[in-house]
Every structure is written in C-alpha cells, then in structure tokens.
Structure 1
Amino acid sequence: MSTPMLPSRPSAVPTPACATARRWKPAPSIYGAAAVHAGAAAALLAQPHAWPWAAGGVVASHLALTAAGLWPRSALLGPNWTRLPEHAGECIALTIDDGPDPEVTPRVLDLLDRYDARATFFCIGDLARRHPQWIEAIVARGHAVENHSQRHRHTFSLTGPRAMKREIEAAQRTLTEIAGTAPRFFRAPAGLRNPFLEPVLCDLGLHLASWTRRGFDTRAKDAGTVERRLLDGLAPRDILLVHDGHAARDARGEPLVLDVLPALLRAAAEARLPWTTLRACLDDQP
C-alpha cells in the first residue's frame, strides 16, 4: 500500500465551517401542505362535523411529504443534485460514500490516481476524526471532501430541525478542521430526509446532492452486477455512487468496489467522459 504525501495543516487563518447561507424558498409541495392545513382548519371552523375529511386531508399531505423524503432522488422537498448542471458538458462525477475506511480508502485513492480521475468523497465526521490521515490524503490527491453527517444515523430522516442541524454542523466542523476546506455539499444517510432538511442546508450554505445511478455496492454479491447498474446508459452529466465505507465483499473477502472501479474508470475513458467533482461544477456555474 502506497503512503500518500499528506497536506500541511490549515494556516493560522481558519477556514469557516459554513459557506454563505442561501435563501430558503419553500418547494411547491411545502406550500401545498400548508394550504391543506389551512383549509382543514377553515373547514373545521365552518363545519365541525366535517372533521373526518379535514383530518384525512392533513394525513394525506403528511404521507405525501414522507414519501418524497423516502425517494432519495426526489426534488419535491427542495433542490437536489441528481445530475451535473448543463455547463458541465461531457463531464461525469464519481461520488464515494461512508468513508474514510483505513483499509479501502487508500486502495480507492490508488485506483483513482492510476486513471487520473477526480472524485467527491462524502465522509462521515466520526470516521474522519478517527482516521484524519485519509481525509488529508483525499485532499492532497486532488479530490473533494463533502458532508455525509457526523454519525451516519439511519434515524436521521426522523429527526427535527435542531437535531438535524447539530448533526450536520458537527460534521461540517470536523471535516473543515481536517480537510482545511469547508464542505459545500451534503448527502443524507441512505439519501433519506424530511422537509426540515432544506431550510437547515440553506442556513449552512450547503447543497443537497444525490445521484443519477448507484451500484448498491454495499449489498450486491458480485462486482459484475454493480458494474452493469452503473454503466448501463452511462451519459454525460451523470453522478455515480459507490462506497469506500460499508463496502460489500466478494467470496475472497475483497471489497467489491475495488473490482468495480477499474471497469468503471476504463469505460469512462473509452467513452471520453472526463471526471469532475461536484464543487468544481458549483464553482464554474455561469
């Protein structure tokens, strides 16, 4: 295993943990839910005996918002990067979740070096604190570190706005301190969220990102299945998702992602689809 050159620590001037806050503009679904609640209240005042219909409307609106949060690629709760913006041209993005992992991440970095590819690593704050040298190595090799929450709790989508903000802010502080650059994007654990997330991200100056296609490489049994899911229909501006943390393993005990990445990187090179990072596309916006 090669040992990367590690970057120097941030200079005496600290990097702010939060980017410039964005203005929150409620999605149409939020306005719709608010209208249903207002209508239900008005109906109860006018005709109290209509309470079953009013209650049913409120319940239906809550179920619709819940369903939107359970669909990771949905934009019904607010902006969500499922593809790169149009100005990205022929570029595609590789996003790598759930690390850093002291066994897998270094080997992933070596593969990316071999193909001169750039990737976006969505990292977990607690793991970054445990293995800071690999966060530093990610940055030193030209990749981007983004926010994947502090603890990666699977109950994240059930939390309220205050707890959600504490969790995201903690990861923002951790990753900024180690990487020297504040994350610009957030990806929810398992991609699941609720209507409270977008206002929190706006306050922290973060953008939500999901993916165009994923390989399910934390659950698959063989690398070929993961490769087909990622490569079938591969096109410019796609955002692909694999994992260096929680990676599924093959019969030999090897992480599947280490077999998947070479095929993926070769296919992109043959199709002349250059790799970019999400933050590079954000910085290049016209």
Structure 2
Amino acid sequence: MLTSHSSFYRRFSGICLLVVGALNLLNIMLGTMPAPTKVALLVVWLVVVVGFLMWASASIASGVYVDALICNRRKKNMIALSFDDGPDEATPQILDMLKEHQAKASFFIIGKKIAANKEVVLRMIAEGHTVGHHSWSHSPRFPLKSSKEIRKEIVCAQSTLEVLSGQKHSWFRPPYGVTNPMIANALKGLGLKVAGWSIRSLDTKDEAADVVYKRVVSRIKGGDIVLLHDTSANILPLLERLLISIAERKMECVSIDSLVEK
C-alpha cells in the first residue's frame, strides 16, 4: 500500500463520526443506570478510545493517519533491508558489505547529517540504493510539533537531499514511525511516499547481534521490510549474518523502489 495523504481527512472524519456515534449510543444505553455506574463506564469507554488513538499513532502499520508501505507480499523472493538515522561511521562499511553480497537496500537519512557526509550519500545513490529521508533533525519532539514545523523539517531535508543529488527523491520515513494528524497534514501536497516496516529488529537496544539476528530471521518472509539502523553498535556483524541467511533462503535483497515495482 502506497501513501495517499488525501484520504486522511476522510478517514479521520470517519473516526470522529464513529466516536461521536458510539458516545451517543453509550449515553442512551446508560440512561437508566445509577450515576456512579455511568461515570465508571464512561471512563472505561474513554480509556479504550484514547488507547486506540495512541496505538494508531505509535504503529505506522495502522494506516489510521498516514498510508505507508509496510511490505509487499506479492514479492515472495524479495526482502527490503532499510537503514535509519545515518549517515554514520559504519555507513561506508555497510555499503561495502552490501556491494560484496550484491545486495541493494534503502537508507532513510537525517537531513542535518547530509552536509558532512555528501560523498557517502552520493555513493548510496550511485550504487543503486533507495535514498529517502528521516526528517531534518530526528528530534524526540518531532511528533509533538505543529504541522507547520513538521512540514519545514520535511521540506528542508528533502530539498537538501535533492540539491546534492540533482534527482527527485520520493520516500520519507517518520521519526520513530510515529504518525498523527499534524504529520498527515504536513505531508499534504508534497507528493511523498511513506515507508514503514513489517519487521522491527530493535537493533538499537543493548543486545548482542545474535539476539537481534534470531529475532529477525525467525519472522522474515518474502516481501518484508526490515528496520535496521546505521547507528547500531552491532550493525556490521548483524548485517553480514542477515545477508548470508537471506541468500541461503534463495531470496534477494532489494531496495524499496524495487519492492514496489509491478
């Protein structure tokens, strides 16, 4: 599923109508109940609604606020490895390893890191990898910013990348995979496609490469998008084992652009 920001308002309006309708129905049902019971049930209902909205925001796969590419099960012999938060010290070695294994990948780079890593970014592009961005700052506050502030971050990272490469880049991955109405509104009209993932490796946790490796390979299927990070302490030994395992399964590591090709 590819991004379609114009559908956000229809979805969000539908959610609002559903919530209002459910509240009215609940009010009718509670009409004859004692006041304490009404309050208790309303609190439960509110907790459920808030919980749903929090899940919808935290899970990029929910599709409630933004449509994102999560996987493509039609590509049964393909896996898309993706790397966030670079470029970093390990990125050139990641590129070396991908080249050695004749594998392609996707990189979602932080805009403010581009100027200091121009050669690495240009190498990503020259070697056939998909290059998108991950906002300008990857600030922990990114999901809490206004639509105007979020849009400024997205546009700044996008323009910096495109000025460097001289090419159009169409992929964006929200920091932390968080989506909400502000992010959806900020993306409106920019023509960007949003990339999510179907397997979160959790490689930035303080765990041995073997633990992360087993977590990924126990779940991996054709068409998956795997979330990794250039900044992970164990990314190089982890990546080498993943590339070998994927090849042994007669699968091909491709870029996200290749994963969505018909």
Q: Same fold (TM over 0.5)?
A: yes
Question: What is the 5 A alignment of 1:206-221?
Answer: 206-221=192-207
State the secondary structure of the residue aligned to 2:189: helix
TM-score scaled to structure 2, two decimals?
Answer: 0.83
Between Structure 1 and Structure 2, the one with more helix by share is 2
Q: Quote the residue 1:259 is aligned against.
A: 237
**Is 1:31 paired with 2:32?**
no
Aligned-pair identity in percent equals 30
Question: What is the 5 A alignment of 1:116-155?
Answer: 116-155=102-141
Question: What is the 5 A alignment of 1:1-286?
Answer: 24-26=6-8, 28=11, 30-36=13-19, 61=49, 63-84=51-72, 86=74, 88-101=75-88, 103-245=89-231, 247-248=232-233, 256-282=234-260, 284-285=261-262
Partner Cα distance (1:85, 1:30) in 2: 30
Deviation of 1:154 (Å): 1.2
Moved over 4 A (4+): 37-41, 55-63
Partner Cα distance (1:234, 1:40) in 2: 41
Q: How well do the aligned residues superpose, as a CA RMSD in angstroms?
A: 3.0
Partner Cα distance (2:204, 2:242) in 1: 17
TM-score scaled to structure 1, two decimals?
Answer: 0.77
State the secondary structure of the residue aligned to 2:169: coil
State the secondary structure of the residue aligned to 1:182: coil
Aligned residues: 250
The 1:58–1:38 alpha-carbon spacing in structure 2 relative to 1, beyond 3 Å, is farther
Partner Cα distance (2:159, 2:73) in 1: 28
Alpha-carbon contact 1:213-1:229 (below 8 Å) kept? no
**What are structure 1's unaligned runs of at least 5 residues?**
1-20, 42-49, 249-255
The 1:85–1:165 alpha-carbon spacing in structure 2 relative to 1, beyond 3 Å, is farther
Deviation of 1:180 (Å): 2.7
CA deviations on 1:6-36 (whole Å, 9 max, x unpaired) are xxxxxxxxxxxxxxx9561136454222453
State the secondary structure of the residue aligned to 1:96: strand
State the secondary structure of the residue aligned to 1:82: coil
